[in-house]
Amino acid sequence: MAHGDSQEAALRNVNDTMQIWIGTAQEFGDPVPQPKGERLMLA
C-alpha cells in the first residue's frame, strides 16, 4: 500500500519502495521472488 498526492505519485512511491526492498534483499543474500504478473489495484 502506498500513498501520494495523486495516483501517479502513489505509483512512484510503490516503485521506489519495491526497488529499495529488492536492493536490500539482494545485499543480504535473501531470495527475491519472481513477479507473478498480477495487476495493482488502485482505489
Tens digit of pLDDT for each residue in 1-43?
788 899 899 989 999 999 999 999 999 999 999 988 877 777 7
- Residue 8 corresponds to which amino acid? E
| Contact by Cβ (8 Å): 14, 2 | yes
- Say what the pTM is: 0.73
Dmax over CA atoms of the chain, in Å, equals: 35
Round to whole Å and give the CA distance between 8 and 24: 24
**Alpha helical stretches, state H, 1-43:** 7-27
The pLDDT of residue 13 is: 93
The pLDDT of residue 30 is: 98
The pLDDT of residue 4 is: 87
The pLDDT of residue 39 is: 76
* Residue 19 backbone phi and psi in degrees, to 5: -65, -40
- Measured in residues, the chain has a length of 43
